Structure 1
C-alpha cells in the first residue's frame, strides 16, 4: 500500500528542501526523498564548504602579509587535514540544520533512491527495500554533477572534480585547472593562496566568460599578478595520469600543442543534470540536452509533475533553485505568484578578488539595441577600501539612457558578493537612476562606491 502525500519532492538540495518547507507552511503534507545527505550538493559539497576553504586561504594570505597592517606573524603555516576538517565541520553543521528544519516543519524524510513509476507515483529504493509513495504533485529537484572530460575521467587521485578538490589528501604542488567559470577560478584562487603553482586553461577568449568584459580583463591581470598562469583560447587534448604526476597536452590559440607536467588536475568544465534513471522517459517528460523543460511555474509537460534547480538549466545557482521552488509550490497552492524568470538572478565568484554581477553586461545591453549610460568607480577612490588595504577593483553600472532603468551591475573587488544585493533589490523594485542618486549611503562604507558608480554614469561622480 503506497503512502499518500499532497507533495513529494525528489531531491533535498537548496531547491528541494526550500520547496518542502514552503509547502508545509501552506498546509500540505510533504515528503522529501534524498539518496545521499540532506542539503544536496550545495550545502554538503559545493557553495558552503568551498566558502569555508576560501575563508581559510584568505586568512592565510593576510597572515603572510601581516606587515602591511603593522603586524608581525612568524612561521606562518597550515595543516591541510585541519583545513579540510573545518570545511567538513561547517557542512556537517548545516546538514544537521536542514534535518532540524524538516522535523520542525513536519516534512517526512525518505532516505533512498527515488524514481517515477507512473503519474503521481514514486518508488524509493534503499538497499533491497522498496517504499511506494503517491502524491497529486511531484517536484523533481535532483540537481547536477560535475562534467567529466571524455578522455580522462576523474579518479580522485590525480584528476579531480570539485568534490575531490574540497577534500585533498595532499597539497598540490603544481595544479592545472581546466575551465575558468566560478568554480574553476575559486579553486585556482584557493590553491594559489595556499602555495600551489596554478595554471588555468580556458577554451574561450577570456576567463569568467559570462561576466562583463572589463571584469574579465581585470581578473586576468589580478590573478596573473598573484602568480597564476592563465591560458585562454586553449584546450586540453590529452591527459595521462601517473602515480605521482599528470601529463597534459595543451593546444594553444596558435594551434600548437605542448606537453606539461602537473601534480594534480581540477576539471571544472560544467555540469551534467541528474535526469537519468528517474523515470522521465516512462512519463514522456520533455527535455532539452538533458535538462527538463518547464514554464515559469516549474510545470513540465506532464500534469502534476514539476522540476526546479539545476535539472532545468542555467543559471546553475542555489538561490535560483530556492526561488524556483517557492514559486512552484505557491502556484500549486493557488497563491498566484509572479512566474519565475532569470532576469534578476545575481552571480557571485568568491575568489580573491571577488566578482559579482546582475543583469545585462554593457555588451549584451548594446546587442539588445539599448542606448546605454555606463558608470564606473574604482576602489582606490573609496576611503573604506583604502583603510581595509583592499584598494583594487571597481564597480560598473549600466543604465538605459532613455528610461534610466538599471540594466546591469558588475563588480570586482573585496566583499562585492555582499554589495551586489543592493543592486538586485533596486532592480526588483524597478528603481531608476534618479532614486539611486538620491539615496544616502553610509560613510565610510564600501557601498558608497555603488552610489558613485551611478553618479558616474551621469557625469556626477564626486570622489574620482
Structure 2
C-alpha cells in the first residue's frame, strides 16, 4: 500500500498535539494526527478537566456545609460518590468528542493507532486494522507523559492508586495517604479530604507545593491543616505493606521510620515522558531523564522533527503544550514566531484554597541577582472576599527595585486561578509598577487585591 503523504504529522492528540494540528491546518498545511488512545489526551480525559469537575463537586459540598453562615438552610447534606464520578466522566467525554469535531472541521486526518518513527519523515501507524505508513517533511512529537511509578510504591488499582484510579475510585477512602504534594497530589488530597477522608500528605521536600513561593506554601499548609489534613514534610515513604483491606506505610522523617496504617494510598510523585517505542534512538534524538532535548523553538536537532509539551520537559502544563503547538505550526508554515518563555507561564492548582503563580518566586529573583521590592495583600482586607465568605488568602507581588519590572506574582485563596491572568498579561506587555498602579480596578472585585499588592510593594497600600 502506498504511503499517505502530508505536510505535517503530529504524534499525540493531547492539548499540545491537537492544537498544533489545528494551527497547521489553519495555515494551509495538510495535516495528519496519530493518537493511540483518546483525542484530547490525558488532560481532557484523565487530567486537567475531570479533576476540575470532581473538585467543583467537593467545593459545592463544602459550601453546603456552610449554608447557615449565609442565612440558608440545608439539612441531611451528603453526596453520592458514584454520581460525582459520573458527572466528571461525562464532562470529559463531552470535551473529548468536541476534539473529534474540531479535527473534522479543520480537515485534519485522524489515525487511531500507535506511531513509530520508521525513518526520517516517516511514521508507521499500527492499529487494530493493521499497519500503514505516513510521510511528511515535518513531524511533531506530542506524546506527553505518564505518572511515575516508584519501586515498591507501584499502583495496584485496589488500595494503591494512580491518578486514573483516583478519578474513578473503587471505594471512598476513609484513611488516605497521598504521596507527593505537587499540583496532582494536593488536588486529590483536597478533594477526598473535603468529602471526609482522614487525609495525610507526605512530601520529600522541606515544604508542600515546593515549586511555589515559600510564603504561599506556608499559607496553604496552614489552611489545609485547619481543614484536618495531616502534612508531613521532609518525609519519605520507604515501603508499603499491602493487605486486602489496608496498607501499612513505612514513613521516614528525621532519620526515624514509623509505621502508619491507611485504607488507600494515592501516588503522585511526578511524571516520566512517553519516549519509548517511538524509534527516537535510531534517529539520534537526544533524551535526558525521559524527556526529549530541544532548543527554544522545540527543535530536536533532527531536521524536521520537533517535540512539544510534557515530552519536551518542564513546566508540565497543558497551556504550555498548546502554546508550543501553535509556535511550531507557525514555524513550519514559514511564519515569524517567538519562543515560549517558561517564566511567563502561569501555574494553577485547584485545591481549596486555590493556588496560582507566574514568574519568579521572591527567593529565585534574589538568587538571580535582582534587588527586589515585595508587596502583599490579604483577602481579609477586601470587601468582595468578605462578602463571598472567603476571607482566607493572600496576593504577593515581586518587582525589580531598579526598573519596576513585575518579576513574579503569587496567590492563594478563592478564584486566584482566574485572577492570575491579569499579571500574566501584565508580564507579556512588559508592564511596570507604574502602569499597574495607574490602572483602575473595578470595585467590588477580588482583583482589587492585585492592585493593593502592587501598591504595598511601594509603600502606598490603601486598605491595610
Provide the C-alpha distance between the structure 1 equivalents of 2:95 and 2:20, rounded to a whole number of angstroms.
Answer: 17
CA distance in 1, matches of 2:138, 2:458: 50
User: Does structure 2 conserve the Cα–Cα contact (< 8 Å) formed by 1:117 and 1:282?
Assistant: no
| Equivalent residue number for residue 119 of structure 1 | 120
8 Å Cα contact 1:52-1:87 kept in structure 2 = yes
Q: Secondary structure at the match of 1:116?
A: strand
State how far apart, in whole Å, the 1-side matches of 2:8 and 2:235 are.
47
Cα deviation, residue 255, structure 1: 1.1
Q: Deviations over 1:261-306 (max 9, x none)?
A: 1011000000010000111011110111121111121111100111
In the alignment, does 2:341 pair up with 1:341?
A: yes
Pair 1:190 & 2:166 matched: no
Superposition deviation, residue 127 in structure 1: 2.7
Corresponding position of 1:414: 414
Q: Does the CA contact (< 8 Å) of 1:212 and 1:363 recur in 2? A: yes
Is 1:375 matched up with 2:375? yes
Tell me what 1:352 maps to: 352
Secondary structure of residue in 1 paired with 2:334: coil
**What is the CA–CA distance in structure 2 between the aligned matches of 1:168 and 1:10, rounded to whole Å?**
30
Partners of 1:160 and 1:380 lie apart in 2 by 38
Distance 1:180 1:281 in 2: 33
Q: In the alignment, is the contact (CA less than 8 A) between 2:12 and 2:142 conserved in 1?
A: yes
SS at match of 1:375: strand
Shift of 1:216: 0.5
* Partner residue, 1:99: 100
Mapping for residues 53-452 of structure 1, pairs under 5 Å: 53-127=54-128, 129-252=130-253, 254-452=254-452
- Looking at structure 2, the residues matched to 217 and 8 of structure 1 have their Cα atoms a distance apart, in angstroms, of 45
Is this contact kept in 1: 2:374–2:398, CA < 8 A? yes
Q: Which moved more, 1:336-345 or 1:363-372?
A: 336-345
Shift of 1:171: 0.3
The secondary structure found in structure 2 opposite 1:343 is helix
Q: Distance in 2 between matches of 1:269 and 1:234?
A: 13
Give me the whole-angstrom Cα distance separating, in 1, the residues matched to 2:134 and 2:334: 23
In structure 2, C-alpha distance between the alignment counterparts of 1:153 and 1:377, rounded to whole Å: 42
Query: 2:19 — aligned with what?
Result: 18
More divergent stretch after superposition (269-278 vs 126-135): 126-135
* Contact persistence 1:204–1:234 (CA under 8 A): yes
- Hey, what does 2:46 align to over in structure 1? 45
The question of whether the paired residues in 2 share the 8 Å contact of 1:371 and 1:401 is answered with yes
1:339 aligned counterpart, secondary structure: coil
Distance 1:124 1:263 in 2: 42
Q: Distance between the aligned counterparts of 1:68 and 1:339, measured in 2?
A: 49
Distance in 2 (alpha carbons) for counterparts of 1:301 and 1:404:
38
SS in 1 for 2:90: helix
Q: Distance in 2 between matches of 1:294 and 1:256?
A: 42
Contact 2:153 2:267 in 1 (8 A): no
The Cα of 1:340 is off from its aligned counterpart by 2.2
Q: Which residue in the other structure is 1:456 paired with?
A: 456
* 1:153-183 CA distance string (max 9 Å, x none): 1111111111110100210000000000011
Distance in 2 (alpha carbons) for counterparts of 1:307 and 1:233: 34
8 Å contact kept, 1:120–1:304: yes
Any gaps of 5 or more consecutive residues in structure 1?
A: none
Superposed CA offset, 1:140-161 (max 9, x none): 0000000012113111111111
Question: C-alpha displacement at 1:341, in angstroms?
Answer: 2.1
Q: Following the alignment from structure 2 to structure 1, what is the Cα–Cα distance between the partners of residues 129 and 54?
A: 38
SS at match of 1:13: coil
Instruction: Check the 8 A contact 1:250/1:257 in 2, yes or no.
Output: yes
Secondary structure of 2:444's match?
Answer: coil
State the 1:128 CA deviation: 5.9
Q: Which runs of 4+ in 1 moved over 4 A?
A: none
TM-score relative to the length of structure 1: 0.99
* 8 Å contact kept, 2:396–2:410: yes
Give the superposed CA RMSD: 0.7
Quick one: distance in 1 between partners of 2:337 and 2:21? 17
CA offset digits 1:304-341 (Å, max 9, x no partner): 11100000100000000000111111111111101222
Question: Whole-Å Cα distance in 1 between the matches of residues 209 and 352 of structure 2?
Answer: 14
For 1:427 and 1:364, locate their aligned partners in 2 and report how far apart those are by CA, in whole Å. 17
Which digits, 9 at most, give the CA deviation of each residue in 1:165-214, with x for residues without a partner? 01002100000000000111100000000010000000111000110000
Alignment length (residue pairs):
463
Counterpart CA distance in 2 for 1:28 and 1:128 is 27
